[in-house]
């Protein structure tokens, strides 16, 4: 006999572990709306307060995966792999990572999300490319993955639909920051994507969702344990988000930065470190590479040979973008009305950067969202951001603002001057990749 919703809520409220049938009933009620919003809210709060053990989190993840379509890539001749990032400022890694790994022989069906709050969304970046279809039908998605090796698209409504309803309720009931619920939300969608392996990029620092190393470590451990418990081989890297990752934050400016990276015109050091580390993990976990050294050499080769840039260009074209986008991205990407260089008011070294403030400045310019339904301006943002440790003389440029009008540029200028802290001495260069998390039985 199936337990009543209130019985399931009471058991979790009292700190008891839910069994597989109770979790399946809860997810079924989410999917067919037989559980009311009040009941879902109550159970979400009970989980937030009492937590879940690994078996519960695995059962929740699998039930949410099975609430909709589960993709099958068994017809492809190579391994299928992907990466998920918990998000940050200037995090355009996906745009380079997918084509690098695809150029090495793996297939990367990358289903990404939109930005909310100060963190940018991969899908919003791709929407800056004219003509690019970021939400294709399943037949086009499969065709592009098969023919080019990768496709960066948005989540379709038939993948893990239970997660969509649960997240909307968590968002308005202060239960978003629950590690088991975050874990199930992320992994249910990745499992539904039919992957053979997964690599996670868990950010920590002032611009990350998990601002502390302790919180990031707990989330990474949970994700790796539950993913492997659900049958998906997964590793995680904890990476630094105490400063923007790329030298650009926004949508079109991050796409331009990615094209520069792929073609070799310019590669931000920290961005290259994270991108290659994640590429190595993906190539190793998917079986393409036999060691970390082999994986790194393959990833570097895909970049230096131009194969990764070629794959990116073919993907963009196959999904409706310009055929010559890589060669002429500057002609296609939207440009802001106001381009304003920012100059240092004093000499010194960049001692720290408030990443959150940079992200919120982009939102204020119109390049991000406060509410999911907000429209964004793909042309605005900031570029040429100097990293921590850079030496500046008074009057030298440390960032460039891209704005719709002068008043918004004024506000962004004040925010960036406040976000950048200069010191007389050169600071210690912070590490970028902080820790690797692997599954332990």
User: Residues 25-32: what's their mean pLDDT?
Assistant: 93
133: confidence class by pLDDT, cuts 50, 70, 90: very high
**Average pLDDT score over the chain:** 93
Burial of 95 (0-12, 13-18, 19+ CB in 10 A): buried
116: confidence class by pLDDT, cuts 50, 70, 90: low
In the 3-class helix/strand/coil scheme, how is 330-360 assigned residue by residue? Answer: HHHCCCCCEEEEEECCCCEEEEEECHHHHHH
User: Residues 13-26: what's their mean pLDDT?
Assistant: 95
Q: How would DSSP label each residue in 181-243? A: HHHHHHHHHHHHTT-SEEEEEEEESTTSSB-SHHHHHHHHHHHHHHHHHTT--EEEEEEE-SS
> How do residues 356-371 score in pLDDT, each as one tens digit?
999 999 999 998 876 6
> Which residues are catalytically annotated?
82-85, 122, 170, 185, 189-190
434 near 239, Cβ under 8 Å? Answer: yes
Segments forming the whole domain that contains residue 314: 81-329
> How do residues 29-46 score in pLDDT, each as one tens digit?
999 999 999 999 999 999
Residue 178 and residue 93 in one domain = yes
CATH classification of the domain holding 284: 3.40.1030.10
Q: Cα(222)–Cα(184) distance, rounded to whole angstroms? A: 10
CATH classification of the domain holding 11: 1.20.970.10
Would you say residue 60 lies in a domain? Answer: no
Residue 317 and residue 385 in one domain = no
Domain count of the fold of the chain: 3
> How do residues 154-195 score in pLDDT, each as one tens digit?
877 788 899 888 988 887 888 888 999 999 999 999 999 999
Q: Cα(167)–Cα(170) distance, rounded to whole angstroms? A: 5
Q: What is the dihedral of CA 258, 405, 113, 42, to 10 degrees?
A: 150
User: Residues 265-282: what's their mean pLDDT?
Assistant: 97
- How many C-beta atoms surround the C-beta of residue 364 within 10 A? 16
Residue 277 and residue 361 in one domain = no
CATH classification of the domain holding 345: 3.90.1170.30
pLDDT recorded at residue 429 = 85
Residue 323 and residue 340 in one domain = no
Q: Cα(401)–Cα(385) distance, rounded to whole angstroms? A: 10
Is the model's pLDDT at 1 over the cut of 60?
no
Residue 184 and residue 291 in one domain = yes
Q: Cα(99)–Cα(299) distance, rounded to whole angstroms? A: 10
- How many C-beta atoms surround the C-beta of residue 213 within 10 A? 14
């Amino acid at each position: 006999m199936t337990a009543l919703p209130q019985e399931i809520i009471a058991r979790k409220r009292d700190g008891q572990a839910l069994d597989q049938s109770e979790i399946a009933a809860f997810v079924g009620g989410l999917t067919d709306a037989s559980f009311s919003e009040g009941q879902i809210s109550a159970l979400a709060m009970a989980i937030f307060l009492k937590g879940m053990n690994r078996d519960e989190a695995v059962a929740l993840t699998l039930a949410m995966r099975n609430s909709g379509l589960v993709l099958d890539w068994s017809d492809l001749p190579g391994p299928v792999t992907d990466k998920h990032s918990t998000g940050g400022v200037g995090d355009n890694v996906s745009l380079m990572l997918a084509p690098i790994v695809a150029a090495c022989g793996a297939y990367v069906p990358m289903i990404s999300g939109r930005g909310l709050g100060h963190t940018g969304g991969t899908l919003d970046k791709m929407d800056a490319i004219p003509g690019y279809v970021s939400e294709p039908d399943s037949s086009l998605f499969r065709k592009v993955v098969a023919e080019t090796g990768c496709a960066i698209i948005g989540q379709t409504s038939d993948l893990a639909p239970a997660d969509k309803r649960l997240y909307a309720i968590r968002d308005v009931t202060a239960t978003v920051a629950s590690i088991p619920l975050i874990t199930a939300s992320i992994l249910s969608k990745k499992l539904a994507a039919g992957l053979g392996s997964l690599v996670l990029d868990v950010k920590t620092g002032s611009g990350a969702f998990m601002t502390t190393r302790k919180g990031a470590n707990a989330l990474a451990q949970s994700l790796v344990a539950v993913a492997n418990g659900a049958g998906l081989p997964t590793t995680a890297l904890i990476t630094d988000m105490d400063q923007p990752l790329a030298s650009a934050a926004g949508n079109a400016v991050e796409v331009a930065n990615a094209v520069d990276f792929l073609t070799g015109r310019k590669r931000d050091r920290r961005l290259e470190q994270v991108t290659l580390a994640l590429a190595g993990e993906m190539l190793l976990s998917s079986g393409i590479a036999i060691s970390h050294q082999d994986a790194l050499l393959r990833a570097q080769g895909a970049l230096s040979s131009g194969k990764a840039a070629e794959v990116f260009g073919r993907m963009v074209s196959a999904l409706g973008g310009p055929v010559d986008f890589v060669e002429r991205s500057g002609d296609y990407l939207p440009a802001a009305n106001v381009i304003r260089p920012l100059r240092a008011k004093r000499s010194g070294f960049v001692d720290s950067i408030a990443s959150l403030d940079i992200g919120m400045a982009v939102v204020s310019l119109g390049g991000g969202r406060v509410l999911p339904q907000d429209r964004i301006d793909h042309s605005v943002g900031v570029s040429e951001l100097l990293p921590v440790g850079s030496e500046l003389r008074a009057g030298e440029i440390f960032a460039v603002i891209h704005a719709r009008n002068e008043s918004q540029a004024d506000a962004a200028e004040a925010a960036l001057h406040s976000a950048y802290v200069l010191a007389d001495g050169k600071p210690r260069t912070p590490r970028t990749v902080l820790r690797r998390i692997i599954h332990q039985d």
